Amino acid sequence: MSTTNWDIDVVHSGIHFAIRHMVVSKVRGSFTKFAGTIRLDEEEMARSNIDVIVDVGSIDTQVSGRDAHLRSPDFFDTETFPEMRFRSKRIEKLDEARMRVVGDLMIRGVTRETALDVEYGGRVRDPWGSERLGFLARTSIDRRDFGLVWNQALDAGAIVLGDRVDIEIDIEAVRAARLRAAA
């Protein structure tokens, strides 16, 4: 069997998002603390799986007051729901460089099936002898599906926040060290 385990290198990876603000622009942010593993079966991609946990309190929009509001019960309620999680259920290879990863995304205690469009970035050996893989994943979700419903009306019927959140995930994964059998 050709299954290998890969750890997400959080120093060289990122989870980013964008949402409409007051209809006219987008606010962008990221999560700075997360961890994940990829169990990759190169012979049969459908047997592969991905598991990622995100520390929601690590949200960073570069505005501390906004970040505090996003951590509050109005949004993520990080005291009650400190983590987000994505667990793949199936992986569909579309061609040599693209795949669709379908899994359960859990935000604020609500789980919804979500599909990620994934581009394979390639495989390389780093200067220290480790193998690395790269991926770029994109999806959009409706924040209301996860209980993120806070909003405020503006003049002329506009609202402060859009409902669609665009997500982009840059992943660099390093092949996990093989466990040595006890002698």
What b/e string do you get for 69-103 counting C-beta neighbours within 10 Å, with b at 16 or more? Answer: ebbeeebbbbeebeebbbebeebeeeeeeebebeb
The pLDDT of residue 44 is: 83
What's the mean pLDDT in 120-141?
93
pLDDT one-digit tens code per residue, 68-82: 999 999 999 999 999
- Rg (C-alpha) for the chain, rounded Å, is 18
Residue 154 predicted with pLDDT over 80:
no
Q: What is the per-residue pLDDT for 42?
A: 80
What mean pLDDT do residues 50-60 have? 97
As a whole number, mean pLDDT of residues 93-106 equals 93
Is 56 in contact with 70 (CB distance < 8 Å)? no
- DSSP type of residue 24: T
Please report which confidence band the pLDDT of residue 178 belongs to, taking 50, 70 and 90 as the band edges: low
Neighbours of 114 (CB within 10 A): 21
Q: What percent of the chain shows pLDDT beyond 70?
A: 92
Output the pLDDT for position 161.
75
> Could you tell me the CA-to-CA distances from 31 to 84, 103, 155 in Å, in that order?
10, 19, 32
Binning pLDDT at 50, 70 and 90, where does residue 182 land? Answer: very low
* Residue 84's pLDDT band (cuts 50, 70, 90): very high
pTM summary value: 0.88
Question: Which residues does 113 contact at the CB level (< 8 Å), separation at least 6?
Answer: 89, 102, 103, 104, 105
| Domain boundaries defined on the chain | 3-175
pLDDT on residue 96: 84
Q: What pLDDT does 183 receive?
A: 35
* Residue 179 confidence (pLDDT): 43
The predicted structure's pLDDT at residue 159: 65
What is the CATH number that goes with domain 3-175? 2.40.128.110
* pLDDT value for 148: 81
60: pLDDT strictly greater than 80: yes
